[in-house]
Amino acid sequence: MKFGVFDHLDDNKIPLGQFYENRLKLAEAYDRAGFHAYHIAEHHSTPLGMGASPGIFMSAVAQRTKNIKFGPLVYLLPFYHPIRLIEEVAMLDQMSNGRFQLGVGRGVSPFETKFYGLDFAQTQGIYHEAFQLLMKGLTSEELTFEGKYFNFQKVPMLLRPIQKPHPPLWYGTTIPENTPWPAANDVNIVIIGLRNTIEACVARYTEERSRLGKDPKTMPLMGASKHVVVADTDAEAMKIARRGYATWRDSFNWLFRRFNAEPRIADLLPPTFDELMKIGNGVAGSPETVRDWIKAEVEATGINYFVSWLAFGDIAYEESLRSVELYSQKVIPALTRQHAPA
C-alpha cells in the first residue's frame, strides 16, 4: 500500500510568487513525510491550474526534493510538439536522478483545447500519434515517424532518460472501459470516481492482466484520488475543508460558467464539502477519522495506492502543512501496518 499527493495548483488568492513558493515548500514536506509520488495537473487559462507549464514547476520540485517521485497527471499530449516533450521528459528524469513519472492524456476541456487552436474532435488522433512518438523518441537514438499529424526523418535523440526503457507511465480514468489498455501495458492508473466506480475499474484492470497471464507480483499501482484534510479535531478539519472546497469548486467551474456550459462530472462534485463527504468523495477529520475512512475505502475497492488532494482552494499553507504532518505521523503508519504483506 502506497500513498501519493495530487495537486491542481489551483488559485488560492495570494500573490503568484508566494503561491509557487508555498507549493514548493509543501513538496519538501511531502518528501520528508515519505509519500510515494507528487502528481501535478495541467490546465490552461483557468484558475483551476496556475501551473500551466508543469515542466517548469517540476524542474523546481526536482531540485527541492530528494526521494519523492513526481510527474504530471497528465501531460496534455496534443498541446506539445512531440520532440520538445521528449527532450523535456529526458531532462526532468536526469535532473531528478530517475524520479520522474510520466502521466499522459488527451485533455478533457474543449475550452482549453480551443484556446490552443486545436480541434477537440481531432485531439484523440493527435494524442495517439504523440504517444507513439514519445515512446519511440525516449527509447531510440534516432527518430523517424510518418503519420497523419506528425512526420519526422532521422532526428537525433541526444537526450535520454535515466529510467529504462522510459519513466513509469501513468493514466487517469473515470470509467472501467478505459482500463484494459493501461492494464495490458503495465501503466499505473489513478481513478476519479465514487466507490462503485473505483471497485469496477480495479476489477476490470486486474481481470485484464490475469487474462493476459501477467505476474500478480508485478502489479502496477491502482490508485484513487480524493480531497483530504487532517486536523487535530474533526470540527477543525471540517471548517478548513468547507472553506477550501468552496474556493476550489469555484475555480473548477470557472471556465464552464464563462461559456455557459454544464460542468463535467458534476455528480462527483456537489456544492458543499459536507455533501462531498456524504457521497464518499472526500474526507476531513482527526487522524483517527481519516485513517478509518481510508481503511474502509481501500478494503471496499481493492486499490493499492491512495492519492490525496491536501492543498486546494484557499486552504492556508500552514493548514496544509499541519495536515501533511498529521497524515504522515498518524494515518499512513497505521494503514501501512494493516495492509502490509504477510
The tens digit of pLDDT for each residue in 310-341 reads: 999 999 999 999 999 999 999 999 998 765 54
Residue 50, C-alpha cell as written in the block = 496556475
- Give pLDDT, residue 115: 96
Residue of 23, 102, 17, 104 lying closest to 65 (CA atoms): 23
Determine the pLDDT at residue 226: 98
Residue pLDDT, tens place only, 252-287: 999 999 999 988 777 899 999 999 999 999 999 999
Q: What φ, ψ does residue 307 adopt, rounded to 5°?
A: -115, 120
pLDDT of 337? 74
Residues 122 and 150 sit within 8 Å (Cβ to Cβ): no
| Other beta carbons within 10 Å of 39 | 24
Residue 77 has pLDDT above 80, yes or no: yes
Strands (E), 231-267: none
Residues 6+ apart with CB under 8 A from 93: 99, 100, 161, 162, 163, 167
Is 159 in a helix, a strand, or coil? coil
State the average pLDDT over residues 66-78: 97
**Whether pLDDT at 189 is above 80:** yes
pLDDT at 137 over 50: yes
pLDDT at residue 342 tops 60: no
pTM: 0.96
Strands annotated E in 85-221: 102-105, 142-146, 151-156, 169-173, 188-191
* CA–CA distance, 289 with 320 (Å, rounded to integer): 17
**DSSP per-residue letters across 49-87:** -S-SSHHHHHHHHHHH-SS-EEEES-EEGGGS-HHHHHH
- Residue 46 CB partners (closer than 8 Å, separation 6+): 109, 111, 112, 251, 254, 255
What's residue 311's pLDDT? 98
* CA–CA distance, 223 with 304 (Å, rounded to integer): 6
CA distance 180 to 319: 39
pLDDT digits (tens, 9 = 90+) for 172-187: 999 999 999 999 999 9
84 burial level (CB within 10 Å; 0-12, 13-18, 19+): exposed
For the segment 158-184, the average pLDDT, to the nearest whole number, is 96
| H-run or E-run covering 305 | strand 305-309
Q: Is the pLDDT of residue 125 over 70?
A: yes
In contact, 302 and 206? CB cutoff 8 Å? yes
What pLDDT was estimated at residue 149? 97
pLDDT above 90: percentage of residues in the chain: 96
- Give me the sign of the Cα torsion angle 175, 105, 309, 274: negative
